[in-house]
Structure 1
Amino acid sequence: MNRTRENTSQPSTVGSNRDVIRQHNLSAVLRLLQKFGTMSRSALAQRTGLNRSTISDLVTELEDLGLITESDTSDRTGVGRPSRMVALSEDVVVFAVNPEADATTVGMVTLSGQVIRKERITTSSVPDPIEAVEVAGNAIAAMRREAGKHIRVAGIGVAVPGQVRVGDGVVRLAPHLNWVEVPFASMLNQKTGLPVSIDNDAGLGSIAELDHGAGRSFSEVVYIFGGTGGIGGGVIHNGALIRGSAGYAGEIGHMRISDSPRDDYSGLQGTLEALVSRDELLAALDLQNADEDELIERLKQPISGRVKKILESQLDALAVALGNVVNVFNPEVVVVAGYLAVLYGYDPDRLLSRFRWGTLNAPQDRLIVRPGELGPNLLMIGAAGLAFAELVEKPASTQIFNA
């Protein structure tokens, strides 16, 4: 579904320039509120460099659009009239969707990044695209029915464990789902009537951790994520995700780190994804399924020698991969998330010692390696950020729908 901008008849050059500046300033205010939370008008003026009168006009317009609220709680930081507090509206939401091999998760997320509803619908087999659309669409419809009349919806964001052509929302290849050349965005749009944006799950996770989690305050970040859909990643340079020429950059899981004949889900041998397998550990623990928190708790209990050997082998393989990406990209911080955060938490000393052994000294200076902070809501927040992107960029001209 294409969004359309309101038509204006023959705008003058000056008017057009003013409109662009106004949209930019409206967007700047929204981005600051997303990053820092509730702020006073005076703080917004200080952060943006705009005068109080301009900030007042912007706040009034955003409030009229239903995107922010003002509270009577005031912030007095000096002499003069106190400044009212400005916050993002909790009434504007998006739906986040994450199809996986064993379940489809659907969430409702506010403009501030709060996950206010989430449902994980398990499936007995890997869902085909039609089944995934049906499951997600039905869950979204139920949440819309149960939402209050005051709730408005900006769209749907989808995090897919695979390669996505973001321009038209086609999943090129999602090996864990057995999807090839699937126009998932248009299929879900037809089901729901809402605009749909879609991207790779690991890339969205990297942006979520950058904006809301372990990557905050950094501009050079390497992010590696392990989930039911394998291992992926994202590289943030100068605060922006590196996408590559066609949008497929960040497939760190398919980096070859060994001459092992073991192959990953794409058929490549000796890769990080082939050697670091969540399913292998689950089988050794005799678990059908477990989320990250459950795995962490299980590993606190006594484990067999076989399980210990698997964990150590996977930690060593992860250390090699971390060394490779640090040598290439020289980040400020490396964030490991999902299943990889479970490995990190099991024995961080082993991981870091082997990582340092295989990494050049210079890139290690001031380098931080840390687990992700967003936990089970990671991909809901990441997909929501994608769905909100156009509204945040063009708040005055982006359509919002009734729940």
Structure 2
Amino acid sequence: MADGAISDATTITLGATIDDVRRQNLSQVLRLVHRDGPHSRSDLTRATGLNRSTVGGLVLELSHRGLVDENDSTGPRRVGRPSPTVSASDQTTAIAVNPEIDAIDVALVGLSGAVLQRVRYRNERVPTVSEFVNIVSALTAGMRPYGSGRQALGIGVAIPGLVREADGTVILAPHLGWQDAPIGRMITDATGYDVVIGNDANCGVIAENTFGAGRGDGVVIYLNGGASGIGGGIVINNRLIAGEGGNAGEFGHTVVTSVGRRCHCGSTGCLETEVRRERLLSALSLMNTEPDDLLVAMELAWLDRRSVGRREMERQLSHLGVALRSIINVFNPRRVILGGYLAQLLAVVGEHELRGWIAPTLPGASAEPDLVGTGLADALLLIGAAELVFAPALEDPTRVAER
């Protein structure tokens, strides 16, 4: 996968036809209401630099395609004719899927980024590829009544591993035990939907950049701590940095100690072998993996300096600090976003405490980036998977037929 643009910018290229210009203008309007929420027509006129009648025609076409809704303005009354409010329509949806070793999450996500319905299927054991496809097919079918009257543009899958988006292949998801699996084709055959797959951490940073804590220009780093390990994503000036083969951001394989555990990648002491949710659960004597239960157990352990849980949290913080120090020195980010159980760890110990484990970093204007938890809680990977599905329609809304 090449580095992908996820910004609102629309550029009119030289030699563009009238249809090209119309498609680009449609994209510009749709991106504005998708990313920034409802706009009045007058707001859209100012933001795009287009005249009012042109904006009106674009909104009408987007409405006919089921991509925007238009309602009477609810803002403060002004002199003159009221300007209707235009918003991304949740009549247009994507089905989002996130498999993990302990559960499979499936959600119906609207074009506004809202999670409309969500189902969590608990795994008794790590599913095979075929079992996963069968589960997704059954859960997707169960969502059809809720989605009645809506149009689903496809299925997006956030995979904890290396993927090849071009043909929907999971190259390697080591903790799931999947290798060279044509997940995209298999789900399409089972459900009839077009399918796009992506790395879960890339999905997370796309979601955060679009709707959450990563909004704005600059360098944003995302680290996700899940049941399968540590994943990472990089956005620079609203552009996802995926790398030559699509695998950039594998921060989980940053070496943080020379005496740690052996990693499946062949190295010793990788971040994801030393900073693991399962090791923390064991130290907390916690069998249940519900996020709220884990958060409460961490808060109680942190208050007792002599507890096994507190010592494990400090051990993981020390290794996380080594990795973050390297990341900050290399990328000089504006913000580092922590997701999954790492966000809970940050919430318990606080930003100041975590900074103490990172220091020292190189001096400079951004030597101390913001350290924040995800703004989208545990829905961000699903929202990011949906963004993979929405991307073609946002780029060219005429791909969606008029209803």
- Paired position in structure 1 for 2:322: 320
For residues 254 and 91 of structure 2, what CA distance do their matches in structure 1 show?
42
Report the CA distance shift for 1:54/1:399 in structure 2 as closer, same or farther (over 3 A): closer
Quick check: 1:385 aligned with 2:358? no
- Paired position in structure 2 for 1:125: 125
Quick check: 1:355 aligned with 2:354? no
1:11-67 deviation per Cα after TM superposition (whole angstroms, max 9, x unaligned): xxx997111111111111111111221110010111111111110110010111111
Amino acid at match of 1:93: T
Deviation, structure 1 residue 356: 2.3
- Paired position in structure 2 for 1:61: 61
Does the CA-based 8 Å contact 1:96-1:157 persist in structure 2? yes
Please identify, of 293-302 and 207-216, the stretch whose mean Cα deviation from structure 2 is larger: 293-302
1:138-174 deviation per Cα after TM superposition (whole angstroms, max 9, x unaligned): 1001101x12532111111000000001111110110
For residues 77 and 326 of structure 1, what CA distance do their matches in structure 2 show?
47
For residues 279 and 366 of structure 1, what CA distance do their matches in structure 2 show?
30
For residues 269 and 333 of structure 2, what CA distance do their matches in structure 1 show?
25
Quick check: 1:394 aligned with 2:393? no
For residues 129 and 320 of structure 1, what CA distance do their matches in structure 2 show?
35
- Paired position in structure 2 for 1:47: 47
Q: Identical aligned pairs, as a percentage?
A: 42
- Paired position in structure 2 for 1:112: 112
Does the CA-based 8 Å contact 1:75-1:82 persist in structure 2? no
Please identify, of 188-197 and 84-93, the stretch whose mean Cα deviation from structure 2 is larger: 84-93
Deviation, structure 1 residue 103: 1.3
- Report the 3-state secondary structure (helix = DSSP H, G, I; strand = E; otherwise coil) of the residue aligned with 2:158: strand
Does the CA-based 8 Å contact 1:315-1:350 persist in structure 2? no
Amino acid at match of 1:343: L
Name the TM-score, length of structure 1 as normaliser: 0.91
Deviation, structure 1 residue 301: 2.4
- Paired position in structure 2 for 1:342: 344
Does the CA-based 8 Å contact 2:216-2:238 persist in structure 1? no
Name the TM-score, length of structure 2 as normaliser: 0.91
Does the CA-based 8 Å contact 1:326-1:363 persist in structure 2? no
Amino acid at match of 1:41: R
Q: How many residues are matched?
A: 387
For residues 199 and 21 of structure 1, what CA distance do their matches in structure 2 show?
30
Deviation, structure 1 residue 80: 3.1
For residues 46 and 126 of structure 1, what CA distance do their matches in structure 2 show?
52
- Paired position in structure 1 for 2:6: none
Aligned residues: CA RMSD: 2.0
1:219-270 deviation per Cα after TM superposition (whole angstroms, max 9, x unaligned): 3101111101110101111211111111111100011122124123434211
For residues 162 and 309 of structure 2, what CA distance do their matches in structure 1 show?
32
Report the CA distance shift for 1:158/1:19 in structure 2 as closer, same or farther (over 3 A): same
- Paired position in structure 1 for 2:291: 292
Report the CA distance shift for 1:322/1:148 in structure 2 as closer, same or farther (over 3 A): closer
1:176-229 deviation per Cα after TM superposition (whole angstroms, max 9, x unaligned): 100111110111011110110100000110111111111122431011111011
Amino acid at match of 2:334: E
Does the CA-based 8 Å contact 1:330-1:363 persist in structure 2? no
Does the CA-based 8 Å contact 2:271-2:320 persist in structure 1? yes
1:371 alignment partner, one of 363, 373, 378 = 373
- Paired position in structure 2 for 1:309: 311
For residues 224 and 276 of structure 1, what CA distance do their matches in structure 2 show?
12
Amino acid at match of 1:361: P
Report the CA distance shift for 1:337/1:73 in structure 2 as closer, same or farther (over 3 A): same
Does the CA-based 8 Å contact 1:40-1:75 persist in structure 2? no
For residues 168 and 344 of structure 1, what CA distance do their matches in structure 2 show?
37
Does the CA-based 8 Å contact 1:222-1:331 persist in structure 2? yes
1:101-132 deviation per Cα after TM superposition (whole angstroms, max 9, x unaligned): 11111000000011011111111110011000
For residues 254 and 176 of structure 2, what CA distance do their matches in structure 1 show?
20
Report the CA distance shift for 1:102/1:400 in structure 2 as closer, same or farther (over 3 A): farther
- Paired position in structure 1 for 2:240: 241
Please identify, of 343-352 and 130-139, the stretch whose mean Cα deviation from structure 2 is larger: 343-352
Amino acid at match of 1:134: N
Does the CA-based 8 Å contact 1:341-1:372 persist in structure 2? yes
For residues 208 and 22 of structure 1, what CA distance do their matches in structure 2 show?
27
For residues 399 and 124 of structure 1, what CA distance do their matches in structure 2 show?
41
For residues 291 and 18 of structure 2, what CA distance do their matches in structure 1 show?
49
Report the CA distance shift for 1:192/1:15 in structure 2 as closer, same or farther (over 3 A): farther
